[in-house]
């Protein structure tokens, strides 16, 4: 039993929308993980984690939800469709959440 099928069942009739919302869901999850763990995921480790989550979202779309890439327009469209939305949302949320996890001493030292 998949947890993603009931979660994204609303868009069963439109695989392109399902593709978009799965990637946005994974962008939010990866940003929360990167942002709340703060310095652990700062820098290259966070970027690698975000890209890994994007690849996981592709596997969920194809193998867990059972969407044929040809329904979207091929494998290239599967990868590039909603990639900018994923990246922008992930980086924006990661930055905002990371700013709130910094200790006040670090923020105060920036203004001295």
- What are the CA-CA distances from residue 90 to residues 2, 33, 36, 67, 98 (Å)? 24, 10, 13, 24, 12
108-112 average pLDDT score: 80
Q: Residue 22: inside a domain, yes or no?
A: yes
Q: Residue 29's domain spans which residues?
A: 15-110
pLDDT tens by residue, 91-100? 999 989 888 8
| 1 located within any domain | no
**Domain-located, residue 28:** yes
What is residue 26's predicted lDDT score, i.e. its pLDDT?
95
* CA–CA distance, 11 with 39 (Å, rounded to integer): 37
pLDDT at 1 over 80: no
Q: What is the pLDDT of residues 26-85, one digit of tens each?
A: 999 999 998 888 778 888 999 999 999 999 999 999 998 888 999 989 999 999 999 999
Q: Considering only residues 20 and 41, tell me which one the structure prediction assigns the higher pLDDT.
A: 20
Q: Give domain status of residue 89, yes or no.
A: yes
The count of structural domains within the chain is: 1
Q: Is 9 within a domain? A: no
In a domain, 6, yes or no: no
Residue 90 covered by a domain? yes
Higher pLDDT, 14 or 87: 87
């Amino acid at each position: 039993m998949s947890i993603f099928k009931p979660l994204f069942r609303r868009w069963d009739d439109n695989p392109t929308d399902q593709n978009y919302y799965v990637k946005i869901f994974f962008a939010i999850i990866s940003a929360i993980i990167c942002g709340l763990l703060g310095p652990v995921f700062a820098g290259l480790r966070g970027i690698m984690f975000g890209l890994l989550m994007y690849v996981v979202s592709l596997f969920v779309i194809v193998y867990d939800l059972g969407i044929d890439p040809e329904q979207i327009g091929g494998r290239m469209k599967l990868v590039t469709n909603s990639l900018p939305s994923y990246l922008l949302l992930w980086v924006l949320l990661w930055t905002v959440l990371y700013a709130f996890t910094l200790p006040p001493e670090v923020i105060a030292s920036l203004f001295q």
